[in-house]
Amino acid sequence: MKTNEIKALDKKRIVSTYARHDMAAASGKGVYCYDTEGKKYIDFTAGIGVNCFGYCDEGWLKAVTQQLEKLQHSSNLYYTEPQVKVADMLAERTGLSKVYFGNSGAEANEVAIKTARKFGALKGRTNPNIITLKQSFHGRTMGAMTATGQEKYHEDFGPLPEGFKYCEAGNTEQLRQLVDENTCAVMMELIQGEGGVLPLEKTFVEAAAELCESREILLIIDEVQTGIGRTGKLFAHEHFGIKPDIVTFAKGIGAGLPLGGAIFGEKACDVLAPGSHGTTYGGNPVACAGAVEVLERLDEKFLADVAAKGEYLKAKLLEIPGVKDVSGMGLMLGVSLDAKPAADVVKDALEGGLMTLTAKEKVRLLPPLTITYEEIDEGLDIFKKSV
């Protein structure tokens, strides 16, 4: 189909929850994406931080197709090897204990929220509350949406689930005041992605971790965007020197297949019991076979390369006239501009053959972790012209 035909059918038949760009993606290889007209784009979005190895990476493709030929799904009534392998790798590498698998970031945060509430119930906190941050983003389901500290996402969807309180990011004093005897969890992203690629201050994160520890409150870190190597560490919380009780993940782990979940530390890993929670697809063997490949390849050297490429990209961006500032870590960057609106830069870049994202008033860049320096330069050339 031609792009215009796809667009027309989309308009007629797809519920319009997305403001789509004027492009229909048809195929891809590595960092390059091709539209239905055969135009080539260099992709600095990685499907919103999902395609960590770019498009159709050979190793990943082999891992998932081999599994696909053996067993595509079995439900969670039976054991499967890929699922336990991924769980073991995640637990080993984080020093946490056990994993729950779902299919998306929102679902990952839902299980964290439900676990926090049950943790509260077991401790006799009869009217439990969870503290999250303003400007956060945790997903679109009722619980995750309510956890999201931005009113624009809540509008028209009330009544919302009770028991959420919102703290200004970085305001330790306010966090202390919000905590009460019914608080069961504090939940945060360490770099607020959708909120504008805003890293939290280390002192605030440390204070929050200490507060959680001393008051028997679960510390939930939403690593759906920051996790799986995006910031140059397997998980961003490693930069902050904290040990969360629950880490949620999704996006990059599946390298393009839907997979997400939560890793639980000792305090939280036995809160849920058979029957407490579940999902039919969660931890699908094909997605998990791909995730094994992802985790195997994300070793120390790979992660150090991500960090170095991130530094390079950041430095080069700062040299571009019209770029005011660059926030973020590794290959998760937010570009503030002097004058031109971010949405216009994104639109012009796409026309020039570069895919980028926005985050509030910034241009957000989440290129594949496997991008090379030459490919970074190639994308930067187009970006420069668009700014």
Point out which residues bind ligand PLP (CB under 6 A).
104-106, 109, 137-139, 189, 193-194, 222, 224-225, 250
- Give 142 or 320: the residue with its C-beta nearer to ligand PLP: 142
At 30, is the secondary structure helix, strand, or coil?
strand
Kindly tell me which of 106 and 382 has the beta carbon lying closer to ligand PLP.
Answer: 106
User: Which amino acid, 9?
Assistant: L
CB of 81 to ligand PLP, least distance (A): 25
- Given the complex with ligand PLP, which of 46 and 323 has the nearer CB atom? 46
Which lies closer to ligand PLP via its Cβ, residue 147 or residue 382?
147
Least distance (Å) from ligand PLP to the CB of residue 222? Answer: 5
Cβ-closest position to ligand PLP? 105
Burial of 69 (0-12, 13-18, 19+ CB in 10 A): exposed
| DSSP 8-state class, residue 235 | S
Taking the complex as a whole, the smallest distance from the CB of residue 353 to ligand PLP amounts, in Å, to: 25
Residue 357 CA to residue 387 CA, distance in Å, equals: 14
Nearest to 227 by CA among 272, 141, 294, 287: 294
Distance of alpha carbon 323 from alpha carbon 314, whole angstroms: 11
Please give the sequence-ordered ranges of beta strands (E in DSSP) within 123-235, or none if there are none.
129-133, 164-167, 183-188, 191-192, 198-199, 218-222
Q: How far apart are CA 307 and CA 313, in angstroms?
A: 10
What tokens appear for 304 in the block?
A: 């150090």
The single residue listed with the structure tokens 């930069």 is: 239
- Residue number, 217 or 228, with CB nearest to ligand PLP: 228
Q: Measured from the CB atom, is 261 or 310 closer to ligand PLP?
A: 261
What is the end-to-end Cα distance of the chain in Å, rounded?
32
My answer on whether omega of the bond before 258 falls inside 30° of 0, hence cis, is no
Adjacent-strand bridge partners of 42? 32, 354
CB of 321 to ligand PLP, least distance (A): 30
Alpha helices by DSSP H, the chain: 3-13, 46-49, 58-70, 81-94, 105-122, 142-147, 151-154, 172-178, 202-214, 237-240, 285-297, 300-318, 342-352, 373-386
Shortest distance, position 106 Cβ to ligand PLP, whole Å: 3
Residues 6+ apart with CB under 8 A from 317: 323, 326, 333, 335, 380, 383
Q: How far apart are CA 197 and CA 147, in angstroms?
A: 18
- Nearer Cβ to ligand PLP, position 57 or 189? 189
Closest approach of Cβ 250 to ligand PLP, in Å?
5
Strand-pairing partners, residue 70, are none
Nearer to ligand PLP, 140 or 215 (CB): 140
For ligand PLP, the closer of residues 41 and 153 by Cβ is 153
Q: What angle do CA 27, 33, 38 make, to 5 degrees?
A: 70
Whose Cβ is closer to ligand PLP: residue 32's or residue 281's? 281
Nearest CA-CA partner of 199 in 209, 208, 189: 189
